[in-house]
Structure 1
């Protein structure tokens, strides 16, 4: 009665049409279990579920197959995958379709997955034989710009891809140099903590920049949970503006969409995109009146593929290109000290925690945050040095003099401004806060064509200095002269 065909089904092939018409005799219903149905715009799952479903329905009409299409949400690797899929089909059909070994054959070419269904008693038949191009192979051809995919893909897929320009989306997602397989910057980020931090900081950041925002089309790149756009939405000056959020991380983008669905915005013209702005231009030239980048640009520097400065310059060039005449780009972020290479001696408290002989491999621990939390400030420095070198791919060189590290001022501040980020330690050590100084940022901005507004400035977060850094650390020159704490942040107002 049923032929269960599990898979992500981003691409349907001509071979699958031939196979299914032979494997599903009259009276058989093909049950398409579309896995990772809640994922899209990621390397692993570039095509959204509703587009995959549309192609399957067209495929079914063209081949004369009777089909049921059921989305299965993404699950971590599990030996219960087959059972989860069968239960998802029951739930997705209001318990009207119950797949059992007596009424169902499974079509699957992945040996590991086939064994899971066989363990439940199902008969499994292979689909693509050795040497036959599989759907993922065809999708990689699309990503590579090889038009040969059109001869392998079924016309139903070709039609849907052409109408919705999905080939460009596949290329953008699969070839993205920054985003991981599942739509995040790193696999170690605690998105709950990250989202909470953005929600908490939104009011403070909005108070700094609200006077510079121009009405019209207002774009927040790296909008996180959409908290800043909520504040824009609440300001009567912008009630007729279009509010646009762009977020690359799947988890945060999902929260933005959820807020919009729950009525968090009064403005009907609120739109969210899941995009990486480094991949390609997202908006037409001269079409955006205000662009906001809050706590974003250091990530572009940190996750750049190749030359970091060139990557940042390319990003700012694109911002200039989409900025309308008299428009503005507002950048609020961390920045490095004005004298990044100045040598300093960093004295750190070693009485506020444990002092192991050596740093450990945190990725081997069940609870990295607990380990880092228990370390003294001095011990955290050596743990940071190991993780920062590996994850951020920076030298982070230092020597020890009279028991104290001697290093560049920028490197010292990279540690001191991150030492308390224990919940996201592995993720945060991928990022370099002090890669560029404020003068570097102004040079890049002006090179793109912007004019830097006189209101722009570097500034120091004195609360962090007084409450987090100064109680456990001191900076001096090598001859013992105290060094003032440098600027830690920037507010850059760039006008076209």
Structure 2
């Protein structure tokens, strides 16, 4: 045996693994999977830190190692072949693994079978009564210091030097972010990225006069498009530009833009963080905080504790805002009379009208199905999905072919009915959870002063082109009701 192939994510190296590997007179080929992922629940430790620990263990134990990063792939029966080819590519074809010169070390039964199908001999690593590396990582996440007794000193050293225990706890215990660093598994990030890029210029025109130079923080920075516009404004050429994005897909685009030289300011920094976790920035250290199309998501993904969560978020913003600094919040909001009972009439001639909603997750093309529904049929599908995904009541009654419901609920549907590409993801979110007065009250409670330029406003283009042609609202006695505000611009100063 010339090589021992050891595939795995290798976030934690254990003392048991070290003793196991010491037995073999072969080059250990560490195929480190998900090497392009970090700060996610499934992969909280960056590849470079994993590689550093492997190299330290190799020196300490006296084994010869090759460390090869393998990019994350969706579940596939070709996984074994993918790792073999990644090793070849990672060594410029100098290392050619095949069943005649390589044994595979793997304790995961399903993965072991894939290598056996290629003709490799597979040996197990940890016996059933021995904690697996992931079990040890979960001990770190739980704050159980006994992990230090099971992890190899190489891992302990790297974790301590780079404070990875805190990072692991933040990632694994995050109540909002999914396993792979996204808010929902159904979100099409290509669509979101395109939308953020398109809207950046319009949003910047709305907020640019309120931005203070200094340390400028964009929370939920998406693809970094707004920070590019800040970067291009000569008023801020000496400012620090900081972007925070929770979604791995969007964060990666920010980093890519910086690598491509799209920012002229050398002081541009991006972090993948959930700002609802531990504090990210020191007290009174930020001059401007931007939250664009973000606060409704904070409200939405805190089901069960929404008022407390948004207040905690605003409190954290106030704490890190420097005296004289500003929080600029541009987002959707609910109507000024959210509880008002209205009658909603919807077009049923612009698409199909099935007898009842369907389970979209079971469909091959949910977007195509939604696109083919009438506006009225979309309402009933929305009601089913919104109640389940956003955990909201969304109550209504049918009366003479029309719908009687809260004005806020009517607007939650009407402002989302055309989001067919991300329907399942969007129905996790509540646009109208708070009205402008409610968001202003949250900022005041945190300690901010509301600037007179703050306002609620209505997106008339959406009303005229998307909503009014297929819907109308009236009072229960039949009088027409004006379309309410749909958005807010909140300028909160310290």
Determine the C-alpha separation between the residues in 1 that align with 2:452 and 2:458.
Answer: 18
Tell me which stretches of 4 or more aligned residues in structure 1 moved more than 2 Å.
none
Determine the C-alpha separation between the residues in 2 that align with 1:65 and 1:272.
Answer: 37
Per the alignment, residue 73 of structure 1 pairs with 71
Determine the C-alpha separation between the residues in 2 that align with 1:169 and 1:128.
Answer: 26
Determine the C-alpha separation between the residues in 1 that align with 2:302 and 2:452.
Answer: 29
1:396-427 per-residue CA deviation (whole Å, 9 max, x = no partner) reads 01000001111000000000000000000010
Matched, 1:225 2:234: no
Checking the alignment, whether the CA contact within 8 Å between 1:295 and 1:333 is kept in structure 2 is yes
Determine the C-alpha separation between the residues in 2 that align with 1:99 and 1:402.
Answer: 72
Structure-to-structure mapping, 1:201-220, within 5 angstroms: 201-220=199-218
1:247-273 per-residue CA deviation (whole Å, 9 max, x = no partner) reads 000000000000000011000000000
Per the alignment, residue 173 of structure 2 pairs with 175
Checking the alignment, whether the CA contact within 8 Å between 1:218 and 1:243 is kept in structure 2 is yes
Determine the C-alpha separation between the residues in 1 that align with 2:235 and 2:465.
Answer: 36
Determine the C-alpha separation between the residues in 2 that align with 1:342 and 1:96.
Answer: 72
Per the alignment, residue 115 of structure 1 pairs with 113
Per the alignment, residue 292 of structure 2 pairs with 294
Per the alignment, residue 19 of structure 1 pairs with 20
Per the alignment, residue 370 of structure 1 pairs with 368
1:444-483 per-residue CA deviation (whole Å, 9 max, x = no partner) reads 1000000010100000000100110000000001111111
Determine the C-alpha separation between the residues in 2 that align with 1:282 and 1:184.
Answer: 19
Matched, 1:380 2:381: no
1:153-180 per-residue CA deviation (whole Å, 9 max, x = no partner) reads 0000000000000000000000000000
What is the SS of the residue equivalent to 2:420?
coil
Per the alignment, residue 459 of structure 2 pairs with 461
Determine the C-alpha separation between the residues in 2 that align with 1:359 and 1:3.
Answer: 54
Per the alignment, residue 150 of structure 2 pairs with 152
Determine the C-alpha separation between the residues in 2 that align with 1:228 and 1:84.
Answer: 38
Residue 35 of structure 1 and its aligned partner are, at CA, apart by 0.2
**TM-score of the two chains, using structure 2 as the length reference:** 0.99
1:26-82 per-residue CA deviation (whole Å, 9 max, x = no partner) reads xx1000000000000000000000000000000100000100000000000011100
What is the SS of the residue equivalent to 1:423?
helix
Determine the C-alpha separation between the residues in 2 that align with 1:314 and 1:392.
Answer: 20
**How many residues matched?**
493
Structure-to-structure mapping, 1:414-425, within 5 angstroms: 414-425=412-423
Determine the C-alpha separation between the residues in 2 that align with 1:316 and 1:433.
Answer: 18
Determine the C-alpha separation between the residues in 2 that align with 1:245 and 1:306.
Answer: 28
Determine the C-alpha separation between the residues in 2 that align with 1:247 and 1:130.
Answer: 39
What is the Cα-based RMSD across aligned positions, in Å?
A: 0.5
Matched, 1:491 2:489: yes
Residue 108 of structure 1 and its aligned partner are, at CA, apart by 0.4
What is the SS of the residue equivalent to 1:220?
strand
Residue 305 of structure 1 and its aligned partner are, at CA, apart by 4.9
Checking the alignment, whether the CA contact within 8 Å between 2:303 and 2:390 is kept in structure 1 is no
What is the SS of the residue equivalent to 1:6?
strand
Per the alignment, residue 320 of structure 1 pairs with 318
Checking the alignment, whether the CA contact within 8 Å between 2:303 and 2:391 is kept in structure 1 is no
Residue 306 of structure 1 and its aligned partner are, at CA, apart by 3.1
Per the alignment, residue 53 of structure 2 pairs with 55
Determine the C-alpha separation between the residues in 1 that align with 2:395 and 2:272.
Answer: 37
Per the alignment, residue 105 of structure 1 pairs with 103
**TM-score of the two chains, using structure 1 as the length reference:** 0.99
Residue 3 of structure 1 and its aligned partner are, at CA, apart by 0.2
Checking the alignment, whether the CA contact within 8 Å between 1:178 and 1:305 is kept in structure 2 is no
Structure-to-structure mapping, 1:31-50, within 5 angstroms: 31-50=29-48
Determine the C-alpha separation between the residues in 2 that align with 1:297 and 1:344.
Answer: 26
Residue 131 of structure 1 and its aligned partner are, at CA, apart by 1.2
Checking the alignment, whether the CA contact within 8 Å between 1:177 and 1:305 is kept in structure 2 is no
From 347, 356, 359, the counterpart of 2:357: 359
Per the alignment, residue 338 of structure 1 pairs with 336
Per the alignment, residue 189 of structure 2 pairs with 191
Residue 107 of structure 1 and its aligned partner are, at CA, apart by 0.4
Matched, 1:5 2:6: yes
What is the SS of the residue equivalent to 2:404?
strand
1:290-323 per-residue CA deviation (whole Å, 9 max, x = no partner) reads 0000000000000015310100000000000000
Checking the alignment, whether the CA contact within 8 Å between 1:217 and 1:243 is kept in structure 2 is yes
5+ unaligned residues in a row in structure 1: which ranges?
Answer: none
Per the alignment, residue 400 of structure 1 pairs with 398
